[in-house]
């Protein structure tokens, strides 16, 4: 039998296998497909805003109702239907209170806008004179030209649009509550694969737990901030103090810039209403300090690691969702991004994205908190 000659020696080395990698053309094709899918997803979010926004709001209200229901059930041991009814009553009472306050003062506020515009221009000029020539020029170029009536009409239009979706959101929430217990069973049946069904149930439980934590903490923190601000507004004698307190509560759900806007609006109104600058300084420094302390110390301490999302990602999510869905997108930016982070964490191909989105590089920390 013939044998192949065996070669020896230091110069004769076995060839090393080259790493297998996708051809450059195939990599470009994959990047192209990903870019197309992302573009289609953004287009679908923008085009389907009329359908998706009420659905997203309904899901958040449903999570808030179930959170209250579960806590009442754990504390009292009452039947499930009774605790669910208690959750619905609490949420509806809060929404109706906000609508009643804003609706009751909206007409008076709109009428006062005409008299506020001239006084606003004079007040800005008076404040600018105390701040130097450069700041004076900036304020004259950017603030004096603001059309307060147009801003008011725009805000009223947004509020009216939100009220128009209230009935649809209520219907969605009602049907979600009815199917709460059978939803998990339907997920297992739809998945066919038992492991896939368990993974889907785990994702839904993680989303529900983290959203409950986020909404509970933000509601408490926003109520605390709005209560302190309302006391300050009332002591100063600021007009429409109830409206500014409600807006402070709502704006605190918008990350970063919401708390700033919640201080700027009543501060500007104080310039118009009062002849002195003292109320303006009180609102800016005292209410601004309260917003800073609560937003940077109390809020993170209560949330702990349950959110686990980087600060840059929070700002990026705020910018993206505001560009896609407007003001409602700003309110929903953090909850929606939390849902995406949880889904990405449970999909092996998308887990690197979840790592980049997380605060400390360990997105599974949310699972341990859940």
Helices (H) and strands (E) in the chain, counts: 16, 0
**Residue 4 backbone class (left: φ over 0; alpha: ψ -120 to 50; beta: rest):** beta
Distance CA 67, CA 91 (A): 11
Residue-level pLDDT at 231:
94
CB atoms under 10 Å from CB of 179, counted, come to 11
Structural domain boundaries in the chain: 306-370
Residue-level pLDDT at 2:
47
Cβ burial, residue 73 (10 Å; 0-12/13-18/19+): middle
Residues 127, 274 contacting (CB under 8 angstroms): no
3-state SS record for 59-103: HHHHHHHHHHHHHHHHHHCCCHHHHHHHHHHHHHHHHHHHHHHHH
Q: What does DSSP assign to residue 284? A: I
Two structure tokens written together for 88:
């619905």
Residue-level pLDDT at 225:
94
Instruction: Kindly give the confidence (pLDDT) of every residue in the chain, 370 residues in length, as a single tens digit, with 9 standing for 90 and above.
Output: 445 454 455 454 555 554 444 556 666 777 777 788 888 988 998 898 888 988 998 888 888 898 888 888 888 888 888 888 888 888 888 887 877 777 666 666 666 666 666 666 666 666 655 655 566 566 555 554 555 455 455 554 555 555 667 778 888 888 888 887 777 777 777 777 777 777 777 888 888 888 888 888 888 999 999 999 999 999 999 888 888 999 899 889 988 888 888 998 898 888 888 878 888 889 999 999 999 898 888 887 777 656 778 888 888 999 999 999 888 888 899 889 888 888 888 877 778 888 888 877 766 655 545 4
The gap between the terminal CA atoms of the chain, to the nearest Å, is: 69
Residues 302, 221 contacting (CB under 8 angstroms): yes
What is each CA distance from 64 to 90, 178, 317, 337, 370, in whole angstroms?
10, 15, 22, 17, 16
CB atoms under 10 Å from CB of 81, counted, come to 9
Mean pLDDT of the chain: 77
Residue-level pLDDT at 249:
92
Distance CA 316, CA 61 (A): 24
Residues 308, 300 contacting (CB under 8 angstroms): no
Q: What does DSSP assign to residue 277? A: S
């Amino acid at each position: 039998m013939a044998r192949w000659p065996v070669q020896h020696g230091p110069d004769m080395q076995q060839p090393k296998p080259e790493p297998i990698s996708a051809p450059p053309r195939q990599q470009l094709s994959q990047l192209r497909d990903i870019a197309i899918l992302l573009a289609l997803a953004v287009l679908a979010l923008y085009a389907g805003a009329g359908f998706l926004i009420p659905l997203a709001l309904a899901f958040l209200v449903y999570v808030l109702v179930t959170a209250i229901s579960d806590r009442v059930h754990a504390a009292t041991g009452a039947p499930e239907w009774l605790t669910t009814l208690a959750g619905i009553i609490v949420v509806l009472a809060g929404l109706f209170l906000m609508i009643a306050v804003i609706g009751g003062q909206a007409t008076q506020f709109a009428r006062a806008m005409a008299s506020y515009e001239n006084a606003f221009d004079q007040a800005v000029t008076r404040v600018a004179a105390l701040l130097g020539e450069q700041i004076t020029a900036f304020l004259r170029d950017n603030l004096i030209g603001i059309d307060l009536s147009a801003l008011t009409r725009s805000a009223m239009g947004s509020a009216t649009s939100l009220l128009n979706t209230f009935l649809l959101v209520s219907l969605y929430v009602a049907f979600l509550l009815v199917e709460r217990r059978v939803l998990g069973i339907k997920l297992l049946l739809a998945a066919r694969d038992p492991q896939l069904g368990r993974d889907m149930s785990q994702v839904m439980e993680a989303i529900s737990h983290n959203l409950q934590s986020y909404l509970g903490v933000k509601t408490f923190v926003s109520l605390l901030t709005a209560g302190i601000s309302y006391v300050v507004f009332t002591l100063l004698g600021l007009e429409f103090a109830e409206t500014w307190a409600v807006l402070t509560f709502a704006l605190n759900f918008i990350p970063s810039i919401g708390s700033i806007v919640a201080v700027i609006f009543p501060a500007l109104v104080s310039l118009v209403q009062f002849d002195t600058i003292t109320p303006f300084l009180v609102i800016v420094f005292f209410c601004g300090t309260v917003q800073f302390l609560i937003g940077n110390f109390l809020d993170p301490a209560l949330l702990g690691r349950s959110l686990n999302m980087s600060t840059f990602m929070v700002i990026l999510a705020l910018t993206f969702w505001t560009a896609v869905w407007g003001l409602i997108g700003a309110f929903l930016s953090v909850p929606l991004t939390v849902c995406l982070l949880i889904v990405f964490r449970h999909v092996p191909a998308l887990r690197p994205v979840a790592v980049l989105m997380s605060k400390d590089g360990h997105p599974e920390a949310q699972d341990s908190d859940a």
